[in-house]
Copies of this chain bind each other. A is one copy, B any other.
Amino acid sequence: MFMKEALAKFILKKVKASDEELALILSYFKPLAVKKKEILLREGGLANKMFFIVKGCLRIYFVKDVGTEVTRRIIFENDASASMVSFITQKPSNEYIEAVMNSELLYMDRKDFYYLVDTVPAWEKFYRFQLEYAYVVNTNRLMSFITNDATERYLSLLKENPEIVKRLSNRLVANYLNITQEGLSRLKSKL
């Protein structure tokens, strides 16, 4: 139950739920410990889990050309995520989910997730807020690849997501910005 305290807080920050509703929701989450570099979902697989990060970090990325990884999203503690397009459509995922470091997760199976959406109003509302949030974060992220240059992306990263720069390797920061490590060094030296 201790692991679920942070999750309960995360949910109650977004919606009101009775003790009963909350206990029911939490009862569907199961613990999962993953090792650094462990892959939780591969391109072509079906996204059938929603993850909450108790400790550690997950990275969601897609492969642009043979071998070129582009990081779509990095999630630290006290946040939840899935490969949403595949989770919603149940078509094969275009993305990978990887543990950036040893991590402790809680996850809910997709069928339980939608069962709760249909039966627990607080969870339906929670999902709606999560969808709105995911829409905004993901659109802004993908638009930044199309409309911003690397320096603009780096400056907005420092402002909106400094934890990525503080906690992750230069390799991953560069990958998040979709530039090489040399490009990142040059960019920093010019600022």
A residues contacting B by CB (< 8 A) are 62, 64, 70, 84-85, 88-89, 94, 117, 124-125, 127-128, 131-132, 134-136, 138-140, 142-143, 145-147
Contacts and interface: CB of A to CB of B under 8 A. Distances in A.
Contact of A127 (B117, B128, B146): B128
Contacts of A134: 135
A167 to B, nearest CB: 25
Given A128-B127, A131-B128, A131-B131, A64 B139 contact: no
A62 B146 CA distance: 10
Contacts of A142: 139, 142-143, 145-146
Nearest to A127: B128
A54 B2 CA distance: 53
Given A124-B128, A140-B85, A70 B135 contact: no
Contacts of A117: 128
Contact of A135 (B64, B85, B140, B147): B85
Nearest to A139: B85
Nearest to A130: B131
Contacts of A62: 143, 147
Instruction: Select the residue from A64, A88, A139 with max chain B CB neighbours within 10 A.
Output: A139
A73 to B, nearest CB: 11
